[in-house]
Structure 1
């Protein structure tokens, strides 16, 4: 058996660096989206506060002030739910991109490992069939275990997404009821 050649080692390192850069690019893209969302939220809040201040200062009737306060409470709850819905969407889309990238890289590594085992099998000296078979069994078992782990992770992520979506839909209706009651 031979060890990795210099070219293969460099190619492996290059692939690892590309994977790392891909992960960082996707992660920073998610952070950039969150930052943009936060900037929009702050600008919107400032504009709304200015409008509310003008409305409060121009109101002479206490009943109008109470109605304005109730209306503002309702709008605040809706805005908060919208904000968190956007945060959830950004987080889940970033997670999905990272998971897809990891799965692609993993599948490529599986293919590379199998190609290595096939090369070893072809170049193995006579009488080493038991070692080659053991190596093939180990690679096959590792691939199956990793595949099962990826599948379980994808199912867990999907369930988390469904739970989050259910919570996003339940939250506004409960807060609307509470606001109306107050």
Structure 2
């Protein structure tokens, strides 16, 4: 049987290790997402450079102002479509990263909550008589902390859903505007 100080020492050590593990996991996930964004940006920059070179050659080969403006208008829609695709890909990376970070944090917080509840239950079994009120207060505090975390988690998920809906709406509006611009340019 462990003494009370040994139990708390063991719990503190386990909690520290859990927090270190959480921080390591979150940092790893964040770096993976940053790496994806960097790769996306490098690919977009490379493609943009190639497209700009082709477009410049086409514009320089225009024989009159009418052809020049016609070529310029024809290039507007593919450019807008690429910008939309980039925005969607970037939003996908952000959404995926957020979901992965949330999942990792939720798992770690749930595990820590289970360990703390187990510790309180174990301590309460070995607690001296007369400490029932203190143990009840600790259990209530743990329950309130868990309820607060659950409410925070729900609110965060709702905020992310609203942000995603707003982003999708903005992309949709941009797509419609690009299509209108492209159809006007073709006339």
* Fold similarity call, TM over 0.5: yes
- In structure 2, the partner of 1:63 is 66
For residue 2 of structure 1, the aligned residue among 1, 4, 7 is: 4
The reply to whether residue 43 of structure 1 matches residue 38 of structure 2 is no
- In structure 1, the partner of 2:139 is 136
Asked whether the 8 Å contact 2:77–2:181 carries over to 1, the reply is: no
- In structure 2, the partner of 1:124 is 127
SS in 2 for 1:60: coil
- Worse overlay, 14-23 or 93-102: 14-23
The one of the two structures with greater contact order (alpha-carbon pairs below 8 A, sep at least 6) is 2
The 1:145/1:11 distance shift into structure 2, 3 A limit, reads closer
Q: CA separation in 2, counterparts of 1:53 and 1:161?
A: 36
- In structure 2, the partner of 1:170 is 173
- In structure 2, the partner of 1:84 is 87
Q: CA separation in 2, counterparts of 1:117 and 1:8?
A: 10
SS in 1 for 2:5: coil
- In structure 1, the partner of 2:148 is 145
The reply to whether residue 161 of structure 1 matches residue 178 of structure 2 is no
Q: CA deviation at 1:78?
A: 1.5
The 1:53/1:79 distance shift into structure 2, 3 A limit, reads same
Q: CA deviation at 1:176?
A: 2.1
Q: CA separation in 1, counterparts of 2:26 and 2:116?
A: 22
Point out where structure 1 has 5 or more consecutive residues left out of the alignment: none
The 1:158/1:39 distance shift into structure 2, 3 A limit, reads same
SS in 1 for 2:89: helix
- In structure 2, the partner of 1:21 is 24
- Cα-Cα RMSD: 1.8
TM-score, normalization: structure 1?
0.91
Q: CA separation in 1, counterparts of 2:127 and 2:14?
A: 24
- In structure 2, the partner of 1:107 is 110
Q: After superposition, give the CA deviation of every residue in 1:20-39 in whole Å (9 maximum; x if it has no partner).
A: 11011100111100100111
Point out where structure 2 has 5 or more consecutive residues left out of the alignment: none
- In structure 2, the partner of 1:32 is 35
